[in-house]
Amino acid sequence: MLKLFYRRLALAICLVGVASALTFALIASAPGNAANFLAERAAGPKATHELVQKIEHDLGLNDPLYIRFFHWVGNVADGRLGESLRTGHPITEEFAQRLPTTIRLLLGGGVVACFMPLLIGVAGALSDGGVLDRSLRVLAIVGASAPNFFVGALLVLLFSVRLHWLPAFGTSGLLSWVMPWVTVGLFPTCVLSRVVRVTLQELMSRPFATTGFAKGYGRTGVLVYEALPNLAVPFLTTFGAQFALMIIGAIVVESVFAWQGIGAFFIDSIRFRDFPAMQAILMTFVVFFVFVNLLVDMVCMLIDPRIRRSQFESA
Amino acid sequence: MINRLRERLGGISPYALIPVVLFVLVAVFAPVLAPYAPGMQVITDAMQGPSFAHWLGTDYLGRDLLSRLLLAARVSLAAMTIVLVSALAIGILIGSIAGYVGGKVDLVLISVIDIMLSLPSLIIALALIGIVGPGYWSMIAALTLAWWANYARMSRAVVASEVHQPHIEACRVIGASHWWVFTRHILPSVLGVVLVYASADAGALVLSIATLSFLGLGVTPPTPEWGQMLVDGMNYLEDSPSMVLLPGLALTLVVVSFNVLGEAIALQKLPRAIKGRVLLKRIRARADEEETVKRGVQ
């Protein structure tokens, strides 16, 4: 078991390494030059060729790509992410200010996306083929298709502009978090509730469900005691994928509610071609995706002996 | 290929196809249908409700909302088609090379594909836009480069499973060239599978285009696009919510219709999968029988 864990961890670290090298190479090959930009900011339109060359030398832009990459990795290991070209502040400072907002947004959305689908999916499975089941199915399709910026705008229109119940922006107070959490959680909720519904239906036709009926459980009993435990693995894998995808939702939600999180930082850095910031944020995202996937795989291995066994066989 | 497509699409309820066909028709004939030029501003008519002159009202610059919505459909469809076709071309090419050549080439290509797929496509697209700089064509290029890996993976799987079929080996034995075998015997099956999935994927692509435009990194003014119209309208949410509601509704409707189509296609495929599984069981059962017979003989 521990051996499997280490193998999976090594794989994850490799993936982060390869992905960071790729993003570094891509961003380094981007047209436009940070030195030109910095020289212009320092000396205005009078920036001389010498000044540009001096900055290039100072930043080490003339070194070969792999040396620059290892230099950057060393800096990251020291906790230095460089300075944002746009603001001139260290990127770590920006991160310290912005990360809590995004993390709280993702966690809140994750809670919504974890419990709502179970509720909706089980409710649908219990009223199999009934009005509730069918209307929930239609709602799930619509919810999974509606763009999240539109969902956010609708919520603001209804609860802030018309009803004055919730604030339309800001992060002060629990109330201002409700709409962003719902907005970011709606898409994964809809996708997951369909997964729950379909998987439950499939599980209910398996032999162990028949055994459950034979033991004298009713439909609800079989659903809760026999089918739900078997739902864990498919649910967790989809949840992991959807949770990682919520970063896109976070980018959009931060833009709708005018929040200063990592997502907004990313969009700003793209707009201003702030390469050091982009590199740092992309790396954060990659680590986040890989970590979430790793965690999901681990948990699945822990709860389902079949997966452990198949991994051992392939090892 | 046509047969495979018909086989998969033929059984689909026309109700799943109608909305998509309607969207395509509206998009294609948008300039004819639109009552006004989408950029025509009459500032004295700004932010009006629905009237006979302007069926859906006007925006904050006095532009006709209906005309802008219709032309935005055209912009969406055009961008989506360009991305889909180029992503399909790249994906099928790379996936086929990986599947057909195999060996080390396959290993390298599949690693690249897997790394691409381990990140959400929209994040890849955003990163690429950041590198090249925002704009319509960089959005198209970024989405294409973010999207091809899906199709590459699918094509590779189909090609790899077809290459070792007896009829393909027979073709090689009687002297057919690789090119002939690939284009006549393998490519049709690849297209049959991948095109069907791609048609279901179109909704996600329309959504991505709108999201990028909403973030100001895709279609930029004055070209009308739903995501970009919506973000424009956000400032006037209190006075004139239709500037947000209408583009949002249009976008949602189009994505819903593509997703319903995708759902119908997936359902259509279900019996085939079950058939395959039953077949597999029978083959296994027969193998077991033979095994026992052999043991009995021994």
Higher model confidence: residue A238 or residue A39?
A: A238
Among chain B, residues having any CB pair with chain A shorter than 8 Å are 115, 118-120, 122-123, 126-134, 203, 207, 210-211, 214-217, 227, 230-231, 234, 237-238, 241, 244-245, 248, 251-252, 255-256, 258-260, 263
Q: A145 vs B203: CB contact, 8 Å cut-off?
A: yes
Q: Which long-range contacts (CB under 8 A, 24 or more apart) does B2-10 make?
A: B3/B192, B4/B188, B4/B189, B4/B191, B4/B192, B4/B193, B5/B192, B5/B195, B5/B196, B8/B192, B8/B196, B8/B265, B8/B268, B8/B269, B9/B196, B9/B265, B9/B268
Give the CA distances from residue A190 to residues A162, A239, B35, B86, B266, in Å, rounded to whole numbers and listed in that order: 26, 11, 38, 30, 18
pLDDT at B270: 43
- In the predicted model, what is the mean pLDDT of residues A121-130? 83
The pLDDT value given to residue B271: 39
Average model confidence (pLDDT) for chain A?
A: 83
- Please write the tens of the pLDDT for every residue from A65-103: 777 777 777 777 777 777 777 777 888 888 888 889 899
When pLDDT is cut at 50, 70 and 90, the band that residue B4 belongs to is: low
pLDDT at B162 over 90: no
- Do residues B248 and A153 make contact, with C-beta atoms less than 8 angstroms apart? yes
Structure tokens at B118: 């381990």
B251 to chain A: which residues are within 8 Å by CB? 147, 150
Looking at the DSSP bridge assignments, the partners of residue A83 are A90
Q: CA-CA distances (angstroms) from residue A284 to A275, A288, B37, B235?
A: 14, 6, 45, 32
Which among B216, B237, B258 has the least Cβ separation from residue A271? B216
Per-residue confidence (pLDDT) for residue A184, from 0 to 100: 92
Instruction: Say what the pLDDT of residue B11 is.
Output: 65
* Residue with the larger pLDDT of the pair A46 and B52: B52
Q: How far is CA A127 from CA A143, A197, A226, A303, in A?
A: 20, 11, 18, 29
Q: Check residue A26 and give its pLDDT.
A: 79
What pLDDT was estimated at residue B252?
Answer: 92
Query: Are A157 and B245 a contacting pair at CB < 8 A?
Result: yes
User: What per-residue confidence (pLDDT) applies to B279?
Assistant: 46
Give chain A's length.
315
Q: Is the pLDDT of residue B132 over 80?
A: yes
**Which amino acid is residue B1, in one-letter code?**
M
Give the pLDDT confidence score for residue B263 in this predicted structure.
Answer: 77
Task: Determine the distance in angstroms separating the CA of B159 from the nearest CA of chain A, rounded to an integer.
Answer: 24
Residue of A nearest to B261 (CA): A141
pLDDT at B295 over 60: no
pLDDT at position A215 is 85
Distance CA B265, CA B257 (A): 12
Is it the case that residue A192 has pLDDT exceeding 60?
A: yes
User: Are the beta carbons of B130 and A278 separated by less than 8 Å?
Assistant: yes
Say what the pLDDT of residue B267 is.
67
- Range name among A35-49, A151-165, B77-91, B102-116 with the lowest pLDDT average: A35-49
pLDDT at residue A137, rounded to an integer: 86
Contact A248 B211 (CB under 8 A): yes
Letter string b/e over residues A260-283, b meaning 16 or more CB atoms within 10 A of that residue's CB: ebbbbbbbbbbbbbbbbbbbbbbb
User: What pTM value is reported for the model?
Assistant: 0.83
Is B220 or A253 the better-scoring residue by pLDDT?
A253
- The percentage of residues in chain B with a pLDDT greater than 70, rounded to a whole number, is 84
> Which chain A residue has its CA at the smallest distance from B248's CA?
A150
Tell me if A248 and B210 make a contact (CB, 8 A cut-off).
no
**Cα–Cα distances in angstroms (integers) from residue A1 to residues A231, A234, A298, A304, B190, in the given order:** 23, 21, 10, 12, 40
Cα A307 from Cα A233, distance rounded (Å): 9
For the cut 70, the answer to whether the pLDDT of residue B135 exceeds it is yes
Predicted local confidence at residue B288, as pLDDT? 59
The SS3 of residue A83 is: strand
Contact A141 B260 (CB under 8 A): yes
Chain B hits for A285, Cβ within 8 Å: 119, 123
Mutate to test the interface with B, among A14, A29, A149 (most CBs of B within 10 A): A149
CA distance to partner chain A, nearest, from residue B231 (Å): 9
Report d(CA A99, CA A102) in Å as an integer. Answer: 5
* B290 pLDDT above the threshold of 60: no
Please provide residue A298's backbone torsions phi and psi, each rounded to the nearest 5 degrees. Answer: -60, -50
pLDDT on residue B273:
38
How does pLDDT run across B233-284, given as a tens digit for each residue? 888 888 888 888 889 999 999 999 888 888 777 666 543 434 444 445 555 5
Distance from CA of B124 to the nearest CA of A (A): 9
Q: Is the Cβ pair B227, A146 closer than 8 Å?
A: no
Pick B112 or A2 by higher pLDDT. Answer: B112
Query: pLDDT (tens digit, 9 = 90+) per residue, A134-173?
Result: 888 888 888 888 898 999 889 888 888 888 788 777 777 7
Q: What is the mean pLDDT of residues A283-294?
A: 88
pLDDT band for position A309 (cuts 50, 70, 90): confident
